[in-house]
């Protein structure tokens, strides 16, 4: 008998002829993350000789539907009962949330029949609120899964191209890239900082928050100074500062995307959540942006986004104090900016030159 970690996926199973590509990428990502041999065995993955930290690292791995500690043993019914007897004995009530799945349809009992026999012989009281244990009947062995935990699902990072994500350090900007990572994209972050240097920005929460997101999938963090934009737009009507800054961010991301091969831009916009995210303003800041802009949170309310942030472990870092550029430019913002007005202001301040000079001052940190 061998102690292992088992990994199950769901969406990958629907990929038909392309399934092996997604399976291989998920295996590669897991091996890189946990540093242990991982094999595909009849639509589930088995991780061998993993260290104590490997189990926790799977929680935020896109493509993983659920994972568990497991015991792999020869296909011997009597030995199966012996192992389950130990698990049942840990509960004074002898209750267990037992499930049986049959990968080998040629096994003598159906899943329900084996489950019933085990419950009868071991006097197990079925209880959905009790500890969950699942027995997988494979073609040449049994796998007992216990300590079952839910993953974040989706598709493996690296199966859907590269995306650059706007990253302010706020709650939404940390959740949005993870949502896109779950769709298989490799996501890097773009942060515009108002502090004196990129080192100063990294010394605050930005570095720790980027590190937390990188636990989902490795990334690069692009750091761009705010002062070029700030100095060139000092005379702009304060009502248009925020939407003009959002315009600057999209043009900056668009330029980086063209130069570095990103297929899309990700933004944490949620419709009508704040002044800059009304339909009028979203439309006004998006004109002429060649790179597609993905807005995975567009239909969520704040409570839904906060729940996701807490699940991903980004919430507590996101709410720490930080001198965010959006807060600097959000004094009495326009809620229905017109494209024509923004074009007029953009020409006056020479936005293209602002973007070009800002890009010259980029610093990149790899996680």
Tens of pLDDT, residue by residue over 316-362, are 999 999 888 776 666 677 788 788 888 999 999 999 999 999 999 99
In a shared domain, residues 200 and 348:
yes
133 and 260 both lie in a single domain: no
Domain that holds residue 143: 2-150
**pLDDT at residue number 211:** 97
pLDDT at 175: 98
> Is 246 a domain residue?
yes
Query: Has residue 125 been placed in a domain?
Result: yes
- Parallel, antiparallel, or unpaired: how do β-strands 186-193 and 220-225 relate? parallel
pTM summary value:
0.91
pLDDT score of 362: 96
**SS3 of residue 177 by DSSP:** helix
The pLDDT of residue 10 is 92
- The rounded average pLDDT for each run of 10 residues, N- to C-terminus, in the chain (367 residues) is 95 92 97 95 93 92 96 94 89 87 91 94 90 93 95 96 97 98 98 93 93 97 96 88 93 97 97 84 90 97 97 96 76 78 92 96 97
Per-residue model confidence (pLDDT) at position 179 = 98
Domain boundary (88, 119, 150) is at 150
Are 321 and 270 in a shared domain? Answer: yes
Domain finish residue from 105, 123, 150: 150
pLDDT score recorded for residue 224: 97
Identify whether residues 216 and 246 lie together within a single domain. yes
Residues 16 and 143 in one domain: yes
Q: Is 289 exposed, middle or buried (0-12, 13-18, 19+ CB in 10 A)?
A: middle
Whether residue 146 is found in the same domain as residue 181: no
Q: Of 96, 102, 30, 90, give the one whose Cα is nearest residue 59.
A: 30
Contacts (Cβ under 8 Å, ≥6 apart) of 10? 65, 153
Domain boundary among 85, 118, 150: 150
The CATH number of residue 124's host domain is 3.30.2130.30
Tell me, what CATH number does 203's domain have?
3.40.50.620
- pLDDT for 256-272, tens place per residue? 999 999 999 999 999 98
d(CA 117, CA 21): 39
Kindly state whether residues 331 and 216 are assigned to the same domain.
yes
Characterise 187 by phi-psi region: left (phi > 0), alpha (psi -120 to 50), beta (else). Answer: beta
**Do 130 and 179 have their domain in common?**
no
Chain centroid offset of residue 231 CA? 36
Pairing of strands 264-266, 186-193: unpaired
- Residue 93 burial (CB count, 10 A): 9
pLDDT at 331: 67
Q: How many structural domains is the chain composed of?
A: 2
Q: Does one domain contain both 312 and 273?
A: yes
pLDDT of residue 95: 87
């Amino acid at each position: 008998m061998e102690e292992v970690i088992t990994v199950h996926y769901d969406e990958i199973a629907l990929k038909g002829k392309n399934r092996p590509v997604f399976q291989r990428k998920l295996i590669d990502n897991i091996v890189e993350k946990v540093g242990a041999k991982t094999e595909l065995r009849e639509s589930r993955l088995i991780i061998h000789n993993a260290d104590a930290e490997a189990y926790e690292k799977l929680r935020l791995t896109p493509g993983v539907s659920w994972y568990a500690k497991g015991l792999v043993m020869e296909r011997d019914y009597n030995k199966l009962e012996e192992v389950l007897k130990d698990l049942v004995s840990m509960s004074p009530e002898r209750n267990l949330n037992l499930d049986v799945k049959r990968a080998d349809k040629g096994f003598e009992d159906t899943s329900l029949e084996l489950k019933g026999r085990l419950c009868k012989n071991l006097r197990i009281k079925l209880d959905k609120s009790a500890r969950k244990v699942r027995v997988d009947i494979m073609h040449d062995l049994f796998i007992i899964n216990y300590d079952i935990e839910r993953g974040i699902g989706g598709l493996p990072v690296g199966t859907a191209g590269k995306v650059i994500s706007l990253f302010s350090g706020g709650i939404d900007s940390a959740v949005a890239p993870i949502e896109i990572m779950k769709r298989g994209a490799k996501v890097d972050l773009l942060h515009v900082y108002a502090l004196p240097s990129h080192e100063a920005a990294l010394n605050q929460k930005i570095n720790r928050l980027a590190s937390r997101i990188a636990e989902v999938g490795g990334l690069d963090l692009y750091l761009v100074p705010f002062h070029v934009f700030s100095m060139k737009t000092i005379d702009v009507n304060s009502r248009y500062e925020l939407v003009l800054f959002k315009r600057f961010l999209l043009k900056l991301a668009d330029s980086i995307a063209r130069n570095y091969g990103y297929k899309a831009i990700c933004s944490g916009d949620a419709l009508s959540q704040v002044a800059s995210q009304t339909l009028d303003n979203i439309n006004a800041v998006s004109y002429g942006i060649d790179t597609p802009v993905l807005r995975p949170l567009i239909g969520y309310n704040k409570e839904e986004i906060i729940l996701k942030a807490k699940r991903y472990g980004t919430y507590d870092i996101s709410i720490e104090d930080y001198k965010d550029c959006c807060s600097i430019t959000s004094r009495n913002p326009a809620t229905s900016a017109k494209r024509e007005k923004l074009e007029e202001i953009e020409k006056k301040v020479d936005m293209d030159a602002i973007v070009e000079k800002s890009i010259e001052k980029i610093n990149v940190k790899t996680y």
